[in-house]
Structure 1
Amino acid sequence: MQPVLNVEDVKRVEAGLTEVGVSISELMHRAGSAVASEVIRMGDLGSVAVFCGLGNNGGDGWVAAETLHGKGVAVTVVSPVDPDDIQGDLARVVAKSAQAAGVSIVVAPPRDKVVELLSGTDVVVDAMLGTGFHGTPRAPFDIWIACINASGARVLSVDVPSGLSAQTGLADGECVIADTTVTMLVLKPGLLSDSGRDACGAIIVAPLAEQTERLTIEADPVAWRADLDDYVDVLEPASNAVDKFSRGSVLVVGGSTRFVGAPMMAAMAAARAGAGYVTLAVPEPVAPIIQARMMEIPVLALPAGRDGTFSSEAIQLVAELAEKRTATLVGPGMRVSSGTVGVVSRLLETKVPLVVDADGLNCISRLTSNRADEFPELLRRAAPLVLTPHRRELGRLVGLEDTPPASLTAAMEAARRIVWADGGSELTVVAKGSATACVGVDVAVLPKPGPAALATAGSGDVLGGVIAAFLARSNVDNEDIPVLCSLACEVHGYAGSIAAERFGSRGAMARDIIDALGLAEDALEEQMAFPDSGGAE
């Protein structure tokens, strides 16, 4: 796995490197050299323009420009001030070095001159605003960002695309849209989430020193980015020596007269994700409708109230069904009523793996008066428990219903409030969003995000079914549940990519994602390095 550090913690790594003899000056020269190497690797370098800011990010750009110039590349630096007027000592030194080496420099050009320069430029190096930036870019950087984005040139950003927050992944104004981002030392959360997904392009980590890995781990990563090989230990390779019972059984509990489709999608997803036997328990009025549409999955009709949701008579029946299954998913389309709140509360008391999604989460919010982090005794159990909130549901769970988490880092903070209050390894919160975090008590795992095609109604119900199926199929320890959930997210995301190829990025629906789940898992398994199966490296 690749570590991800908060921006503030990156400073600890830099300080640690200076203590072992790698100075900030040396780091800047190594960073600039790394950028220059990636520019050369891009090929077809007729001319390169390097846009530099006033801090150390700009210093990296000056070093890259001098390195490229020394290799015979036609390079021009665009700077807001003359090298002599740069206030930062180190950035001023490297700027004057580049100037003395003969690098062409354009100082504070007007917009039309920037447009003219870019019209003849093949590659732009964006070294304007670094990881310490937050807020809205000011002149001249806002003008330069707009011109770069409109130029059509290939763009390489240094550390983070200018205008993007490396911490949150959000941009208050326009930010550079890069083809490649060379980020120094370690990944930052903003590069992997929200606007960062569109802005960064291909991300290359330049560690800069052999001690970086050790110092990064000592700095306590906020999360870990999963690689496919990290999933080998949580999911056994395919085998012919199975039957429907050994592949696990899943109970899906949900539905109401208002929302009939959600539990159907969750149940179908669990089946497509490899569970050997799936049962769907729904309120009695909707059972005939669902039975007519689902041939492969048994549908059980449970007592319902006048509102079309589960009545109190269903509570014990659901618990008894769950005890006979390998894993249970509760919540899709269930609505919030006294009966459904009772169903969720009773399922939390069972001793089988449980996934709580959608209205199941809203029932927990009702049980805890929107403060699940203050009622750990409700969630604490021996068997695995996975909560799968999107950001608005997560906000309701921790008293932030009016200001739900707006970024990946904020979502991880909210999820940790719940997980750390519980304190046990049995609980994992899958904080869903444009980038998702699978947060356990000891680790947060970031799966590779899926495509925009996942942003469609019912997609979350599908993911709930996949996670339930993986829990039913696997025999992992509680400590490995975040990794297992991350794999489920990646299968879900890859299925979204397959569906988008078939129906278009805006045309794919949840049922299309369901149909692609088996193909997605097979494709990912082929890329995993199962030690005993000769998997691809």
Structure 2
Amino acid sequence: MQPVDQILTPAALRHWPLPIPDGDKTSRGRVLVIGGARTAPGAVMLAGLAALRVGAGVLTLAVAESVAGPVAAAVPESAVLWLPQTPTGSVAGSAAESIRSALDTAAAILIGPGLDDVDETAELIAGLVPDAPEHLPIVLDAYAIGAIGQLSAATLEALAGRLLLTPNHNELERLLAASDEPADSDDPQHLLAERYQAVLSSDNRIVAPSGDSWLAPAGHSGLGTSGSGDVLAGALVGLLARGASLTQATCWATYLHAAAGDRLAARVGSLGFLARELLDELPLVLTELQA
């Protein structure tokens, strides 16, 4: 039987307050976002800016070398790592070597926005995870979710307990297929959360490996637009960097993302608002919830 979801309301979130860091920007955490192939550099920028909009202190974007210059100019708030790429402009699996120096100072990392080659992404993840500090939270999004089926048992074991996944409906189905889990399960999200010992956010529902689950009764069909998932993943990694737990960061980010969509639907229209417009709404919703 599918467990009863706990409903996320503003009152419930206010009784689960986020950490309020003291001091300078480093106390709010360093975020590392890895993605940005030549075909989709905007995805990594949306994710990185979302992390800053929810209060992360320091941002580093790691992107394919052919787009690193434009990304650095477009997001002056971020440091940029130039990653080796394949002849087609995908981030090369060997890029792990260029990222390792940033792992020790990161408070949370996100892998996936704008990546476009599953094989290269799987190699990249496998190369990074052994050198990532043991308790460093890792968020996988987009193509990084698709690469899970190619990861070794040792890599998956190293990710267990500190992994967060943000699959949309199609990615959830592919993840089930790659994991040999039944697609007609009453609760596929819980199956995957338990299998990978990960927290999932999918379709405004959050599921933890323990079986606990939450539902954000907000959001609008307008959120089904290009780049929206990148904003969600960025908000999630930003809250992790601030010191939120895996489940708290996922619940808060999912609600913030959905509520931002509601605000835009009321002001702009139910369809047609842009993912970049969600960024400006995030700190406003966050401020209202923390008031």
Structure 1 segment 143-182 matched on structure 2, within 5 A? none
Structure whose residues are more often helix by fraction: 2
User: In the alignment, does 2:244 pair up with 1:470?
Assistant: no
User: In the alignment, does 2:2 pair up with 1:226?
Assistant: no
User: In the alignment, does 2:290 pair up with 1:521?
Assistant: no
Structure 1 segment 48-87 matched on structure 2, within 5 A? none
Aligned pair partner of 1:358 in 142, 149, 161: 142
Looking at both structures, which has the greater relative contact order when contacts are Cα pairs under 8 Å and sequence separation is at least 6?
A: 2
User: In the alignment, does 2:222 pair up with 1:440?
Assistant: no
1:497-534 per-residue CA deviation (whole Å, 9 max, x = no partner) reads 222333222121000001111111111222xxxxxxxx
How many equivalent residue pairs? Answer: 287
Alpha carbons 2:48, 2:61 under 8 Å: kept: yes
Name the Cα RMSD after superposition: 2.6
Alpha carbons 2:190, 2:211 under 8 Å: kept: no
Q: What is aligned with 2:225?
A: 456
SS class of match (2:115)? coil
Distance 1:404 1:389 in 2: 17
Distance 1:495 1:404 in 2: 33
Q: What is aligned with 2:24?
A: 243
SS class of match (2:74)? coil
Distance 1:364 1:381 in 2: 11
User: In the alignment, does 2:273 pair up with 1:492?
Assistant: no
Structure 1 segment 79-118 matched on structure 2, within 5 A? none
Aligned pair partner of 1:303 in 73, 84, 90: 84
Alpha carbons 2:138, 2:159 under 8 Å: kept: no
1:451-492 per-residue CA deviation (whole Å, 9 max, x = no partner) reads 22212111000000000001110253xxxx224311111111
1:371-422 per-residue CA deviation (whole Å, 9 max, x = no partner) reads xxxx586155466210111121111112179x9968xx84xx2222222234
Shift, 1:283, TM fit:
0.9
Alpha carbons 1:269, 1:465 under 8 Å: kept: yes
SS class of match (1:258)? coil
In structure 2, the CA distance between the partners of 1:457 and 1:379, relative to structure 1 (3 Å rule), is farther
Shift, 1:329, TM fit:
0.5
In structure 2, the CA distance between the partners of 1:348 and 1:230, relative to structure 1 (3 Å rule), is farther
- Structure with higher Rg: it is 1
TM-score, structure 1 as length reference: 0.49
1:246-304 per-residue CA deviation (whole Å, 9 max, x = no partner) reads 11110000011111211111111111111011110001011122122112112221111
345-354 or 223-232: bigger deviation: 223-232
Question: Stretches of 4+ moved more than 4 A in 1?
Answer: 403-406
Alpha carbons 1:348, 1:378 under 8 Å: kept: no
Q: What is aligned with 1:414?
A: 188
User: In the alignment, does 2:124 pair up with 1:343?
Assistant: yes
Q: What is aligned with 1:429?
A: 200
Alpha carbons 1:253, 1:329 under 8 Å: kept: yes
Q: What is aligned with 2:175?
A: 397
Q: What is aligned with 1:39?
A: none
Q: Give the percent of matched residue pairs that are identical in Structure 1 and Structure 2.
A: 32
In structure 2, the CA distance between the partners of 1:405 and 1:459, relative to structure 1 (3 Å rule), is farther
In structure 2, the CA distance between the partners of 1:395 and 1:379, relative to structure 1 (3 Å rule), is farther
Distance 2:280 2:182 in 1: 32
Structure 1 segment 229-308 matched on structure 2, within 5 A? 229-232=11-14, 234-236=16-18, 241-308=22-89
Distance 2:229 2:237 in 1: 12
In structure 2, the CA distance between the partners of 1:337 and 1:224, relative to structure 1 (3 Å rule), is closer
Structure 2, unaligned stretches of length 5 or more? none
Distance 2:13 2:200 in 1: 18
SS class of match (2:78)? coil
Distance 1:400 1:315 in 2: 24
Distance 2:19 2:42 in 1: 32
SS class of match (2:114)? coil
The one-letter code of the counterpart of 1:225 is I
SS class of match (1:398)? helix
Distance 2:20 2:105 in 1: 25
